Structure 1
Amino acid sequence: MTHVPQEPATLHARHQAVLPSWLSLYYERPLELTHGEGRHVWDAEGNRYLDFFGGILTTMTAHALPEVTKAVSEQAGRILHTSTLYLSRPMVELAERIAALSGIPDARVFFTTSGTEANDTALLLATTHRRSNQILAMRNSYHGRSFSTVGITGNQSWSPTSLSPLQTLYVHGGVRSRGPYAELSDRDFIAACVADLEDMLQQTAGGVAALIAEPVQGVGGFTAPPDGLYAAFREVLARHGILWISDEVQTGWGRTGDHFWGWQAHADNGPPDLLTFAKGIGNGMSVGGVVARAEVMNSLTANSISTFGGSPVTMAAGLANLNHLLEHDLQGNARRVGGLLIERLRAVTAGLGLVREVRGRGLMIGLELVRPGTDEPSPEAASLVLEAARERGLLIGKGGQGGASLRIAPPMSLTVAEAEEGAGLLAEALRTAQGTLAGT
């Protein structure tokens, strides 16, 4: 019997009937994506799209990468699941690779199923090791959707409750071009943020457990501080014995081009104490984890396991994906093609009043949109561009303050021709949105 796909409107109605109202969907007519190959995906109606968002930076190498699908199929044919109560060769092998790549001395790795759970685990380790529930986080940050990670998220759009098991103190520095220090030089910006951190620590009662920070803020709109900020922070943290957690869920594995990890742009004082990862390593499989110095990782005094973290199938996928990424120098490709793409986007957006800033590095690029003629962030403009890009066969994401920034993060195997094509399609979508906003 031949399967006939339902109309998207019918599937959307079923979605609304059984799933939460806060589980938002892109587009006025939501898409059902059915399959993909390389940097392209297809919807249930047969339309083909150039994918510039990769399932929220998760399809890191390519859709339907043969090495990954083969590894998943072969492992699934042997055994699907065992849990961390048994030895697992794929888990040990992937942990060995990640520990060596992390830059953290005497590293230990714990696998989870998501970035949220990875950050949860890092918070558990840091607060246990330091015997404190005080956490420093960055303004405009995002670290997950669990109760504890919502409590350290500095982005109002993604923080549905003020309740938290943690006492969170928010620090300046994650957004370079807005806020009280925006007009300063990079050097003075860093000095002002460090002074703010020093002042905040003087006001706290007891020892702070850790600073958690994304080297490039993901949901925040791909914003970043000047290189060296977190190295300067680290000097202050070290004096107080405070741990540094680098949230590499979106910046890891060479996506920023210049570095394999985002923290390496701030590496004057060595690696972080803890590093969290997820998304891209599994290329769509649910893999997350924490890397930490043995002293920190082994500080838990009670039993802890993961039923699904480190499963044989996801570890096999992660190993195959990591091998492909390293063997094909996708970090170098992100640097080269990403550099071309960001310059092309700056060229095609020059003179467009709704584009305030094009920023980013590697294949992690953000466009901040405003109401033309103002400095006011425009979520409306971002939604218009998203729709216009989709109509032209291009998928992009959004984030930032109120959702006013476009997020561009294609698979890291993106070709020069695809970068040029995507930039052209996005330029058309931006011009269409600006015309709509102007009433033309």
Structure 2
Amino acid sequence: MTDDLLGRHRAVLPDWLALYYDEPLEITHGEGRHVWDAQGNRYLDFFGGILTTMTAHALPEVTKAVTEQAGRIIHSSTLYLNRPMVDLAERIAKLSGIPDARVFFTTSGTEANDTALLLATTYRRSNTLLAMRNSYHGRSFSAVGVTGNRGWSPTSLSPLQTLYVHGGVRTRGPFAHLDDYDFVAACVDDLKDLLGHTRPPAALIAEPIQGVGGFTSPPDGLYAAFREVLHERGVLWISDEVQTGWGRTGEHFWGWQAHARGGPPDMLTFAKGIGNGMSIGGVVARAEIMNCLDANSISTFGGTQITMAAGLANLTYLLEHDLQGNARRVGGLLIERLRAAAAHVPAVREVRGRGLMIGIELTKPGTDEADPAAASAVLEAARAGGLLIGKGGGHDTSALRIAPPLSLNVAEAEEGAAILEDALRSIQ
């Protein structure tokens, strides 16, 4: 990025619109798992525009689909029949695992979660929501109202009454010392106690793996155990799959499938990777929930033809090339390589994640105190080495987030791990 562009950015855009790096980066183009900046420097991309370039940069199949659709019609709104939207909705409904599913398309994950909250509160006639501590669900007024991460909650005002539940972070909090079985049991007991002190909530909204929270997750089965308690009281379960969907975790296509006892959630939300950079979000819900609204509603830009064409091409490529399997294989290699490297760095508290969704939490050595300065230093050192990664975490943004496109190959995983190892060692 040139000094002139940075100055123009600061002059016309909000102060709270954060930029990475001491010298912010302008990305001009990409190909495969690499991007280039305005000075011609090439980087291995391990963040994919915040997990959005899911398949690859400039994927020919997606580029062709977008170009051909743009030559026909780009947009008509949901007031007209839209073949690409119906085609993609049919495929997502089937893949969701939700019976008698209906799909509503939006332009972002924030809008998808906002829609799910509207549906849940209308269906249940309650504005009380359950959410997880350390969670993030978007930047709209209602989504901020169910976000349990202080760093991403600019206001405490909300149209919702939100109660926050234990369990999203395995290695912190009052139950961290327990084994997995007892951890789940303690979280379930806490949920039951909480429900005994409030009017019945509309829904629990939860990320199977917390994205902005630093790629933290509970033991497998926690949300299935929660669901049994919630189902007895008619409370809905919304699985926020904006970051975990489409096979990124390797072991499962959706994050909720790690908690599958009792079946799928009542609703799931999606966004980010499905469009491979195009703006697609959405909600999948049982028909009785989706159809509970008794007023008109449309989406001007949700489901527009050009984004649906991209989504169809991207989803087809992902399934035909078994990118979920690739995430499992290459992601498993990458996480083990990073754990071996981190074993020699006292600042690393934990390397966690699954598939190509990996977090490295940094603390001041010998303590559990977050070290955001160390996270920033590693981010800078990785960039200097030719690697782009992200940051997150619920404790002052002290976790590194690693989420490459799902087509990452073994050689690129090894290259990225080596750069990250050097970057981690540089902070000692």
Q: 1:190 aligns with which of 174, 184, 205?
A: 184
Q: 1:372 aligns with which of 348, 365, 368?
A: 365
Question: 1:114, CA displacement in angstroms?
Answer: 0.1
1:356 to 342, 349, 371: 349
Partner of 1:35: 29
Task: Measure, in 2, the Cα distance between the counterparts of 1:332 and 1:351.
Answer: 30
1:183, 1:8 → 2: CA distance? 49
Task: Output the CA distance in 2 between the equivalents of 1:272 and 1:375.
Answer: 34
The alpha carbon displacement at 1:9 in A equals 1.5
1:284 equivalenced with 2:274 (yes/no): no
Identify the residue that residue 49 of structure 1 maps to in structure 2.
43
CA distance in 1, matches of 2:249, 2:326: 10
Asked if structure 2 preserves the Cα contact closer than 8 Å seen for 1:234 and 1:244, the reply is yes
Aligned mate of 1:61, from 55, 77, 101: 55
> Per-residue displacement from partner, 1:163-195 (whole Å, max 9, x unpaired)?
000000000000000110001010000000000
Q: Distance in 2 between matches of 1:290 and 1:373?
A: 43
Q: Is this contact kept in 2: 1:246–1:276, CA < 8 A?
A: yes
Aligned to 1:4: none
Task: Give yes or no for the alignment of 1:388 onto 2:372.
Answer: no
SS, match of residue 196 in structure 1: helix
Letter in 1 for 2:96: S
The equivalent residue for 2:266 is 273
Distance 1:176 1:422 in 2: 27
Aligned amino acid, residue 256 of structure 2: W
Q: Secondary structure at the match of 2:36?
A: strand
Quick one: which amino acid aligns to residue 406 of structure 1?
A: L
Deviations 1:89-113 (A, max 9, x none): 0000000000000000000000000
Match of 1:239 among 220, 225, 232: 232
Matched, 1:311 2:304: yes
Paired-residue identity, %: 80
Equivalent residues in 2 for 1:121-200 (5 A)?
A: 121-200=115-194
Q: Which amino acid aligns with 1:158?
A: W
Partner residue in 2 for 1:257: 250
Q: Given residue 158 of structure 2, which amino acid in structure 1 is its aligned partner?
A: S
Indicate yes or no: 2:331 matched with 1:341: no
Structure 1 runs of 4+ with >2 Å offset = none
Q: Distance in 1 between matches of 2:286 and 2:135?
A: 24
Report the Cα offset of residue 402 of structure 1.
1.2
Q: Which residue in the other structure is 1:3 paired with?
A: none
Tell me, yes or no, if the aligned pair for 1:8 and 1:29 is still in contact at 8 Å: no
Partner of 2:70: 76
In 2, the alpha carbon distance for the partners of 1:353 and 1:344 equals: 16
AA at the equivalent of 2:374: A
Which one-letter code corresponds to 1:131 in the other structure?
Answer: R
Q: Which residue of 2 aligns with 1:116?
A: 110
Q: How many Å apart are 1:294 and its aligned residue? A: 0.1
Q: Which amino acid aligns with 1:253?
A: W
Provide the aligned length of Structure 1 versus Structure 2. 427
CA deviation map 1:381-408 (0-9, x unaligned) = 0000000000000000000021100000
- Read off the aligned partner of 2:99 and give its amino acid letter: P
Q: Partner amino acid for 2:217?
A: A
Q: Is the 8 A contact 1:174 1:224 kept in 2?
A: yes
Deviations 1:5-62 (A, max 9, x none): xx62211111000000000100000000000000000000000000000000000000
Counterpart amino acid of residue 62 in structure 2: V
**Which of 113-122 and 348-357 deviates more?**
348-357
State whether residues 248 and 262 of structure 1, in contact with CA within 8 Å, keep that contact through their aligned partners in structure 2: yes
Counterparts of 1:19 and 1:195, CA distance in 2: 46
User: In structure 2, the residue corresponding to 1:78 is in which secondary structure?
Assistant: coil
Please give the alpha-carbon distance, in whole angstroms, between the structure 2 residues aligned to 1:134 and 1:307.
29
Aligned residue for 2:130, secondary structure, equals strand
Q: Distance in 1 between matches of 2:2 and 2:339?
A: 35
- 1:374 shift after superposition: 1.9
Deviates more, 1:348-357 or 1:53-62: 348-357
Corresponding residue for 2:398? Answer: 404
Matched, 1:222 2:215: yes
For residues 385-436 of structure 1, what are the alpha-carbon distances to aligned partners after superposition, in whole Å with 9 as ceiling and x for unaligned? 00000000000000002110000000000000000000000000011122xx
- Distance, in Å, in 1 between the alignment partners of 2:43 and 2:298 is 40
* Aligned-residue CA RMSD (Å): 0.5
2:307 aligned counterpart, secondary structure: helix
Separation in 2 of the partners of 1:113 and 1:429? 36
* Alpha-carbon separation, structure 1, partners of 2:261 and 2:145: 30
Question: Separation in 2 of the partners of 1:153 and 1:288?
Answer: 18
Instruction: Please show how residues 285-304 of structure 1 align to structure 2 within 5 Å.
Output: 285-304=278-297
The equivalent of 2:80 in structure 1 is 86
Aligned partner letter, 1:417? A
Superposed displacement of residue 351, structure 1: 2.1
The unaligned stretches of length 5 or more in structure 1 are 1-6, 435-440
Residue identity opposite 1:223 in structure 2? T
SS of match in other structure, 2:359: strand
AA of the residue aligned to 1:365: I
**Residue deviations 1:127-147, cap 9 Å, x none?**
000000000000000000000
Unpaired runs of 5+ in structure 2?
none
Query: In 2, distance between residues paired with 1:318 and 1:352?
Result: 41
TM-score, with normalisation over the residues of structure 1? Answer: 0.97
Q: CA deviation at 1:229?
A: 0.1
In 1: Cα distance, 2:103 partner to 2:375 partner: 38
